Amino acid sequence: EAGVAQSPRYKIIEKRQSVAFWCNPISGHATLYWYQQILGQGPKLLIQFQNNGVVDDSQLPKDRFSAERLKGVDSTLKIQPAKLEDSAVYLCASSLVGGARTDTQYFGPGTRLTVL
């Protein structure tokens, strides 16, 4: 079974530039998550989709971050414009839907973003 795919793996940009990350979840997983993980901290949920609808985006800084999952499969996360404090690893995860099965998330390899 193929895992969660993410690209790019690494990205270095200057502040105020824009950047986009891509995620393809495990086939059949209706729920998709984007997390931000700053060095030394646990992942912080940015946004959660079920199919192409948003379940939770309460911690997404909407003035600069946006995400979409138009066809209910792959997803993109965009930052525009980037700030220094956005330097982090951005993790995508997916899970099945239904009670506790939703809690077992499978993570992609992450994208390490460095903002200079």
Partner 1 sequence: EDKVVQSPLSLVVHEGDTVTLNCSYEVTNFRSLLWYKQEKKAPTFLFMLTSSGIEKKSGRLSSILDKKELFSILNITATQTGDSAVYLCVSGAGSYQLTFGKGTKLSVIP
Q: What are phi and psi of 60, to 5 degrees?
A: -85, 120
Nearer to partner 1, 23 or 82 (CB): 23
For the bound state, the minimum distance from the C-beta of residue 91 to partner 1, rounded and expressed in Å, comes to: 6
Helix boundaries (H) for the chain: none
Q: Please state, in angstroms and rounded to a whole number, the distance separating the CA atoms of residues 49 and 55.
A: 5
Give least dist CB 39 to partner 1, A. 11
Residue ranges that bind partner 1, judged by CB under 8 A = 4, 31, 40-45, 48, 50, 55-56, 91, 93, 99-100, 102-110
In angstroms, rounded to a whole number, what is the distance separating the alpha carbons of residues 24 and 20?
Answer: 14
Which residue, 31 or 75, has its beta carbon nearer to partner 1? 31
Q: Which is nearer to partner 1, 13 or 45 (CB)?
A: 45
Q: Are 111 and 22 in contact (CB under 8 A)?
A: no
